[in-house]
């Protein structure tokens, strides 16, 4: 029974993801061709997708306090894929992810399409490129979400932060 329930949830989540992506693309294309704001469109679609997807995943989301207003830089520990979704659902910000995610089937293409920034952690010099992307993202009025520990953990301790991507947000006092 649990396998059946999990399979139905996964299938439902996949169908909702595809349906919302198909609905999102024309709006995004229209806004891009007219030069209008795509940031709030993407953020609203992500929040809506979160409200639809969370119950399918068996999640009850409770937000304590006020989510940051754009532009923002949100830095957190990374426990699982769920925290990625929760942060995107509640803030609508852009994720910074390891480059490997871009090559994952379906997830990689969808992530790239919604604006996820990717960093190649095997190339030290990629930090310069990504810092420029972070600066551009914040200057455009968008939010950025990333996990400077660079990996998932159990949440019982904080690992060493890779601080090289925190320079611009810290220097400019982004919340």
**pTM for this entry:** 0.78
Length, in residues, of the chain: 175
User: Which strand (E) or helix (H) includes residue 172?
Assistant: none
What is the rounded distance in angstroms from the CA atom of residue 136 to the CA atom of residue 129? 11
Domain layout of the chain by residue ranges: 2-171
Tens place of pLDDT per residue across the chain (175 aa)? 788 888 888 888 888 888 887 877 888 888 878 877 777 887 888 888 888 888 888 888 888 898 888 899 988 876 777 787 788 888 888 888 889 989 998 788 888 888 889 999 888 899 899 999 999 999 989 999 988 766 555 666 666 666 677 778 778 876 6
């Amino acid at each position: 029974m649990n396998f059946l329930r999990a399979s139905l949830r996964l299938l439902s989540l996949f169908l909702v993801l595809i349906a919302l992506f198909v609905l999102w693309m024309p709006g995004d294309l229209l806004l891009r061709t007219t030069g209008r704001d795509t940031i709030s469109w993407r953020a609203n679609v992500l929040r809506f997708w979160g409200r639809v997807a969370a119950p399918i995943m068996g999640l009850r989301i409770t937000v304590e306090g006020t989510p940051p207003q754009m532009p923002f830089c949100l830095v957190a520990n990374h426990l699982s894929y769920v925290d990625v979704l929760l942060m995107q659902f509640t803030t609508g910000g852009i994720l910074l992810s390891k480059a490997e995610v871009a090559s994952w089937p379906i997830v990689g293409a969808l992530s790239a399409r919604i604006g996820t920034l990717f960093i190649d952690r095997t190339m030290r010099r990629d930090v310069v490129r990504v810092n420029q992307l972070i600066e551009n993202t914040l200057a455009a009025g968008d939010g950025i979400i990333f996990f400077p520990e660079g990996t998932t953990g159990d949440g019982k301790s904080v690992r060493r932060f890779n601080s090289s991507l925190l320079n611009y947000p810290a220097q400019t006092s982004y919340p």
